[in-house]
Amino acid sequence: MVIFIDRASPGDANEVLALQKLAYQSEAELNGDWTIPPLTQTLSEIQSEYETKVFLKAVCVDKIIGSVRASQNSGTCQVGRLIVHPDYQGRGIGTLLMKRIEEAFSCAERFELFTSTKSTSNIRLYRRMGYQELYEEDLSPNVRLVFMEKRRCYEETRVWNT
C-alpha cells in the first residue's frame, strides 16, 4: 500500500468532508453525541476553512483516506481534525499526517490540539508524539475535551574555533 501525503486544495473539500463525517461517527458513538461539530459541519464551512488553514491529505490509489488541518497564530500552531478512514486506521497514517503538519509549520514554537477525554487511542497517539495534557473543558453535557500541547525544543548550536 503506497500512501502519498500532499496539500489538499479547495477542490478536495467535498471528499474531505465526507471522510470527516465517516471518521467521526465512532467519536459520536463513543460520546453519545451526534451533534459534535465535525458531524454538523457544512460544505461551505469547510470550504471557508481553506482560506485560513493548511489542509493535508493522505491519498491511496486516488482516494483520500486521511486528512489533518492546522493554522498558526503567533508562535502556536492549532492542529485540528486528524482523520483516517476506518478501514485504514492502525497503519501509521495518522502519525504520518501529524508529522507532516508539524513539518509544514516548522516555525511554530508549540502545537496545540484537543480530543475527547474518552478517545483513549487518540490520546495515546498524541502522547507518543510528545503532546502533554494542558486542561479539560466541556463541549456538551456528554463530551469533555482534553487540550494537549507539544513544545518544540530548539537545540543550541555551538561553533567551536580551532
All structural domains of the chain with their residue ranges: 4-151
Q: Name the pTM for this structure.
A: 0.91
Q: CB burial class (10 A; 0-12, 13-18, 19+) of residue 146?
A: buried
What would you measure as the largest C-alpha separation in the chain, in angstroms? Answer: 66
Confidence of residue 1 (pLDDT cuts 50, 70, 90): confident
pLDDT of 161 > 70? The answer is: no
The whole-number pLDDT of residue 54 equals 98
pLDDT of 28 > 50? The answer is: yes
pLDDT of 157 > 60? The answer is: no
Q: CB burial class (10 A; 0-12, 13-18, 19+) of residue 7?
A: exposed
Contact of 147 with 111, CB cutoff 8 Å: no
Strands 110-116 and 76-84: parallel
| Superfamily (CATH) of domain 4-151 | Gcn5-related N-acetyltransferase (GNAT) (3.40.630.30)
The whole-number pLDDT of residue 154 equals 58
Per-residue H/E/C for 20-63:
HHHHCHHHHHHHCCCCCHHHHCCHHHHHHHCCCCEEEEEEECCE
pLDDT of 156 > 70? The answer is: no
pLDDT of 162 > 90? The answer is: no
The whole-number pLDDT of residue 158 equals 43
User: pLDDT tens, 62-110?
Assistant: 999 999 999 999 999 999 999 999 999 999 999 999 999 999 999 999 9
Plot region of 42 (φ>0 → left; ψ -120 to 50 → alpha; else → beta): beta
The whole-number pLDDT of residue 60 equals 96
- Residue 41 CA, chain-centre distance (Å), reads 16
What average pLDDT does range 119-125 have in this prediction? Answer: 95
**Please, what is the angle between helix 120-128 and helix 93-104, to 10°?**
50
